[in-house]
Amino acid sequence: MISSKFSLVIRWDKHQTISPLNIVEKLKSNMAETGVDKLKLMVVDDEPDNLDLLYRTFRRDFQVYKANHAHGALEILEKVGEMAVIISDQRMPEMSGSEFFSRTVERFPDTIRILLTGFTDVEDLVDAINSGQVFKYITKPWNPERLRALVEQATDTYRLVKKRTQELRRALRRESLFNAVTTAIRESLDYDSMLQKTVATIGQTFEATSCMLRPTEGDRLTSELFSYYDPQSDVLDCAFDSTPLIEKVLQTRHYELAQEIYDGNPCHHLVVPLSYQQHLVAVLTLHQWGRHRPWEEEDIQLIAGVAEQAALALSQAKLYQRLQEKQQQIHNELEVARQIQYNLLRQSLPDIKGVKVQACCYPAREVGGDFFEVFVHPKGDLWLAVGDVSGKGVPAALFMASVISVLRRELSQEAPAAPNVVMQNLNHALSEDLISNNYFITLVLACYTPSTRELIYTNAGHIYPLLWSHKAASADNPNYLKVRSVPLGILPKWQGQSCSLVLAPGDTLLLTSDGITEAMVFNNSSNLVKTVSGFEPVERSMLNQDGLWQLLQKEEKPLSLNHLVARIQADNYVQEDDQTILSLEIL
């Protein structure tokens, strides 16, 4: 049940405001005395004595109208409108009672009809009753008490029918309005257009001269205003200041109704809160100028019901808008983080005589945990690294930034330590944070000396480096550098060894992350898997290092990492993991 508080103010002129409650009570009293609220009853009979008797019988309880023939009765109905009860004689000149009733059914379906007959004309009575035109019939001469009881029963039936009809009409109107508001909300593209369509739909439905909708934040009105004005009205708004009503609604959460006289015409004001789960979403204000009858309680309850439904939709739309704004903010922040992370990686690779270095990194999300490093020491050594932080997204990216920073600090020393010692120092600096957050880092680190072509490398749990050369192009087995220890962040103290080898012209060292080797690729029909029904071809499988070795053998010279990665990504509709690859070619 919607609680309400009613305040009525009539502004008679610019200098005087009075409360008309006594006038309203006087009008109600006069209406009762004059019988305005009595039901209307019509008696039709061509015999004057019967007509007068029927009139006198019911004149105290009804507004009685009488006619001595059917045509006169139809003229009265045309002027006065619907009757609650019509009592008519059956045998009348020109038009019988049943024929007269049949002419009133379509226009006044709720009227209760009673037929008087002096003869038991069974055929006429059966036709009249079966056609639904007659409620009861009574024979002449009638028993006054029985006729009174019958009319009382007819009025009760009429009231019940009108009540049910009004309830049905109210339900249909409510459903129609709810559907209109729901449709307007669904057709809205955003929160603001939803507010505008809501206020326009309510304003049009309830024939408001103007309608305003003000959203709220923390029980306070925002600066936004959504309005509707009747295009057929010349009055934009009454001079009435609705601010006090709005402030009262903000305090009480109940609707407020007020009235004034403006330029000689009544102006009605209705302020309704839009609340959902005790939270005020908006305040709706309706103004109606020029109508002498204010909004009825039924209209107000309907507006309140629509406001409640609209509040639910607006609350959800507002939440959705906030989520979208938050997602957009996160997206913007991640885009900045992506650019920062991209800038952390080497944007230009060194140009060293006798070698060619290529590298690329593709995060699966805006930011990722994969990284590579190419560092040229002032003494001429070339340091290479490819690493992968466990997990994805922002946490992995933060650890990625940390490990690059610490690694560059170690490599910037005047005489950098051996690769396995540098790895120990990295673990010492990062292990506490990694272990406490259940993260780890796989990393392969190599130092190449151009003057001697010696390569010294160490591996902390990363994928084996792959050595590809012209001499091994036709070999059955790939050449993996298999010296490896545990990842960083697993143990407080990392231990591992370095291994060295001498590269020859035409050799290519390839360092990758697991996003490359674990990518799903299409297979040839010759690859079969055993099933219950036999052997079936496997359409897609993980590339693995062996598959990467096969792709390398098919690559044209000179090697292009971008072309190689493009071939791998062509089979992946969605990139599941960060993909990083680095190559060192000895020319």
Q: Please state the domain extents for the chain.
A: 4-17+187-321, 38-168, 345-586
Q: Where are the beta strands (DSSP E) in 166-319?
A: 210-217, 220-221, 226-229, 255-262, 265-276, 279-289
CATH 3.40.50.2300 fits 38-168, yes or no: yes
Residue 381 to residue 46: CA distance in whole angstroms: 127
Per-residue pLDDT tens digits for 299-310: 888 888 888 888
Lowest average pLDDT, out of 75-84, 244-253, 288-297, 421-430, goes to: 288-297
Per-residue pLDDT tens digits for 200-256: 888 888 888 889 999 988 888 999 999 998 888 776 555 567 888 999 999 898 888
Residue 557 to residue 245: CA distance in whole angstroms: 82
pLDDT band at 31 (very low <50, low <70, confident <90, very high): very low
- On whether the CB atoms of residues 68 and 139 are closer than 8 A, the answer is no
Tell me, yes or no, if the pTM score tops 0.85.
no
Residue 479 clears pLDDT 60, i.e. is over it: yes
Which residue reads 């019911």 in tokens?
58
Cα dist. 255→68, 283, 285, 485, 530 in Å? 52, 10, 10, 74, 74
Residue 355 to residue 584: CA distance in whole angstroms: 7
Using DSSP bridges, classify how beta strands 370-376 and 540-542 pair: parallel, antiparallel or unpaired: unpaired
Residue 33 clears pLDDT 60, i.e. is over it: no
Contacts of 187 (CB under 8 A, 6+ apart): 197
- On whether the CB atoms of residues 578 and 393 are closer than 8 A, the answer is no
Residue 236: what pLDDT? 56
Mean pLDDT of 165-184: 78
Cα dist. 470→341, 356, 359, 504, 558 in Å? 36, 16, 21, 10, 12
Superfamily classification of domain 345-586: PPM-type phosphatase domain (3.60.40.10)
Which residue reads 């390839």 in tokens?
510
Mean pLDDT of 383-411: 93
Residue 570: what pLDDT? 84
- On whether the CB atoms of residues 35 and 60 are closer than 8 A, the answer is no
Average pLDDT, whole number, for the chain?
83
DSSP SS3 for 252 = helix
Contacts of 61 (CB under 8 A, 6+ apart): 38
pLDDT band at 262 (very low <50, low <70, confident <90, very high): confident
- Burial level of 239, CB count in 10 A (0-12/13-18/19+)? exposed
Mean pLDDT of 171-199: 79
CB count in 10 Å sphere of residue 421: 14
Of the two residues 391 and 45, the one the predictor is more confident about is: 45
CATH T-level fold of 4-17+187-321:
Beta-Lactamase (3.30.450)
By percentage, how much of the chain surpasses pLDDT 70? Answer: 86
Q: Can you give the C-alpha Rg of the chain in angstroms?
A: 45
DSSP SS3 for 441 = strand
